[in-house]
Amino acid sequence: MMHSTINSERDTLDKFISIYSSLRKDNLKTLDEIYSDDVVFEDPAHRIEGYGNLASYFESLYTNVNDCRFEVHDYAVNADVAFLSWTMTLSHPKLQGGESRSVNGCTRLTLREGRVVMHRDYFDLGEMLYEALPVLGSAVKLIKKRLGQ
């Protein structure tokens, strides 16, 4: 029985990776195949509860970016918890003139009955956002440099 559960969770993770790897402005509806209605999504800037709110967040996000792509590098499943490491490549017209920026991160998922019920992303918000802003970016880079010395 345990082996069947592991295969089921692995199948859910494979589907999650497939959807995120091909996610674009024109196929955001595919997210409803992997998230539960009561999903909780968290990242360094947001906490979103419920699939309807999450779908609205993604629609807004993808409307405002030129491009956003995910490349998954590694992943693991342990019972109903999965971890992934990834690189997000993002191009936003208000960040560095729309140039592409790559940010590494990881995700912790809680899976239940073939769906994601908890999605928590971990990444450096400073690297993704603050370093790309004209005045603030220089200050953040300087602080990071000094912390490294």
Tell me phi and psi for residue 129, to 5 degrees: -115, -60
Domain ranges across the chain? 2-123
Give 48-100 pLDDT, tens digit per residue. Answer: 999 999 999 999 988 888 888 999 999 999 999 999 999 999 887 766 676 78
Give 4-55 pLDDT, tens digit per residue. Answer: 555 788 999 999 999 999 999 899 999 999 999 999 999 988 999 999 999 9
In CATH, 2-123 is 3.40.50.460: no
What gap in Å lies between CA 13 and CA 145, rounded to an integer? 37
